[in-house]
Amino acid sequence: MAGPYTDFILTDEVLLKLADQYNLSPQIFAQLKKYYTRIPFIKDKEYLLSLFMTFGESLWDGVDNYSIEKVNPNTFDYYDPATNNEKVKKESPILVMNTLEARYKKENDLFQAVSKGLMHKAELYMLNNRISTMETRLNDPIRDIKNYTIILKTVLRLAAEQGKVHPIYIDALSSQCAKQIEAITSIQSGLQLQMDMVKEYCLLVKKHSSNNYSLPVQRVITYIDTDLTADLSLKALSDSLNINPSYLSTLFKKEMGMTLTNYVNKKRIEHAVYLLSSTDMQIQNIAQYCGIPDVNYFTKIFKKVMNKTPSEFKEEIR
């Protein structure tokens, strides 16, 4: 037997009319609405019929002596408000309030942990408070887990923003997560993605939080990460920020513990290591992608940072 389902949308107005018609207590209306919003809405009955026929063929392959029947509603006992209305267990408003307050407090705990990059604390929260264990809102469990994962992504995005991560980094991770969410095919894969997202956002905060840096240094770091092939000289960066080069140089070294030139070279060589490890690009092309057109100068800087030439590094990888 399949059901219940509706062939029209049960709006608040319809439910209120029915509640009034059957003299239902206003105190149970919230539960009534919650129940009926979960019932599947099937507009096309022919679709349902085709579904049953396919199901029958799967169960009784080659047998055609089965039929589909619609049960007469008159064979069921109707709800009697006079005898049952007071027997319905009421959901205390205070209990609802306390439950919601507890849930939002827990979400805030996760928010604070991620905003500080505290991965262990955030993972512990996820293990004890699976978002997927919240109430079922739709008849489709996959859509439900996707929706709750989208909610989690929003919380994580705002937490990273609170952790002083530049939007350019948040947006890149958010876009990646959005694609992964739509690719969820099971409850288990959704739960795993939720845990992975929490880890990724904690790492993002750890790596890119600018909490301890002044605004000029924050902007310089972001600019460097955005495009390693750009002109990242002290003059170019100070001109883009409209501040004195000497002041920027002193400020950057004080906050970062190294000169601006050394920091730029470090980031470029880190990217070179990634390209050498993950691609078959020629070293000359890699130098271009790292913003150092002169391959000899690129080799010199690479050896200074890594204590070996790019060719030696690539040979070791192989």
Q: What are the two backbone dihedrals, phi and then psi, of residue 41, each rounded to the nearest 5 degrees?
A: -105, 115
User: For residues 159 and 114, is the Cβ–Cβ distance under 8 A?
Assistant: yes
Instruction: Give, in order, the Cα–Cα distances in Å from 17 to each of 20, 21, 26, 90.
Output: 5, 6, 12, 20
Which of the 8 DSSP states describes residue 62? T
Residue 6's DSSP bridge partners are 41
Instruction: Give, in order, the Cα–Cα distances in Å from 297 to each of 107, 179, 216, 259, 265.
Output: 51, 40, 29, 19, 11
pTM for the full model? 0.54
What pLDDT tens digit does each residue of the chain (318 aa) get? 677 778 777 777 888 888 878 887 776 777 777 777 777 777 777 877 888 888 888 888 767 677 777 776 666 555 555 555 444 455 556 666 666 677 677 778 888 889 988 888 888 888 776 654 455 555 678 888 899 899 899 999 999 988 888 888 888 899 889 989 988 988 889 989 999 999 999 999 988 887 678 889 888 988 888 888 889 999 999 998 899 999 999 999 998 899 999 999 999 999 999 899 888 888 999 999 899 989 999 999 999 989 999 999 988 887
What is d(CA 143, CA 149) in angstroms, rounded to the nearest whole number? 10
Phi-psi region of 57 (alpha: psi -120 to 50; beta: other; left: phi over 0): alpha
Estimate the crossing angle of helix 119-128 against helix 187-208, to 10 degrees.
Answer: 160
Element (H, E) at 317: helix 310-317
